């Protein structure tokens, strides 16, 4: 048998190294990178964004009054929604009702009842809610603008109903998010972000957005 030459040995070594590198990259992709469909994190929830008229103590207090009025108005509406699309359709059909609820709350406090309510996509930074964290990106958002809307704002997840205090229970959070269309893997993305693996996946998902 003819002995293997130096160039042939070098070729075998190069091919072996390339195969090893490919296998390593595939392993990393499987264990670290977001899997197909994880971008559904952005398309399974609706955020609530309330902007105060100004940063004065009075306007900041009124912002919370409006928040409570909006949540009271939307809770019974969204209780019938089984998906983000259904929730969006319901909200779109009741924007005037939500605005009127917010304006009544302001009028009851003797404040200027100018409120604008829209349902639109909006860019959000990374945001934590209790033991949940949602990656920065573009989300469908119910925007509630009070007066000039130049004050500090308030965020939460309107659908599924994680704005409500009862939803801070971890089991209720999981049930709400899974019923909204997130897979168990996507659920881990927004709940296990303090773990090294998921912290990295969380950051990569933000880049993909």
pLDDT at 76 over 70: yes
pLDDT at 43: 84
pLDDT at 2: 52
pLDDT at 29: 47
pLDDT at 116 over 50: yes
Which residues neighbour 89 within 8 Å (Cβ) at sequence distance 6 or greater?
none
Higher pLDDT, 181 or 55: 55
**pTM of the complete model:** 0.74
pLDDT at 151: 94
Dihedral (Cα; 102, 103, 107, 113), 10-degree rounding: 130
pLDDT at 30 over 50: no
Contact 149, 60 (CB under 8 A): no
**Domain range annotation of the chain:** 46-208
Model confidence at 125, pLDDT cuts 50, 70, 90, reads confident
Q: What average pLDDT does this structure show over 126-155?
A: 88
């Amino acid at each position: 048998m003819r002995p293997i030459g130096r160039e042939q040995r070098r070729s075998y070594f190069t091919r072996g190294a390339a195969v090893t590198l490919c296998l390593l990259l595939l392993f990393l992709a499987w264990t670290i990178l977001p899997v197909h469909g994880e971008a559904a994190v952005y398309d399974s929830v609706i955020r609530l964004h309330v902007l105060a008229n100004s940063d004065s103590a009075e306007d900041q207090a009124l912002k919370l009054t409006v928040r409570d009025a909006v949540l009271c108005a939307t809770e019974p509406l969204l209780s019938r929604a089984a998906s983000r699309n259904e929730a969006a359709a319901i909200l779109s059909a009741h924007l005037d009702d939500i605005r009127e609820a917010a304006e009544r709350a302001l009028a009851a406090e003797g404040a200027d009842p100018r409120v604008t309510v829209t349902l639109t996509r909006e860019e959000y930074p990374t945001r934590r809610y209790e033991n949940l964290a949602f990656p920065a990106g573009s989300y469908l958002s119910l925007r509630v603008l009070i007066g000039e809307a130049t004050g500090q704002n308030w965020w939460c997840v309107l659908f599924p109903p994680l704005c409500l205090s009862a939803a801070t229970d971890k089991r209720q959070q999981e049930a709400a998010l899974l019923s909204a269309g997130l897979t168990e893997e996507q659920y881990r993305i927004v709940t296990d972000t303090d773990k090294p693996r998921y912290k990295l996946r969380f950051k990569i998902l933000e880049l993909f957005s």
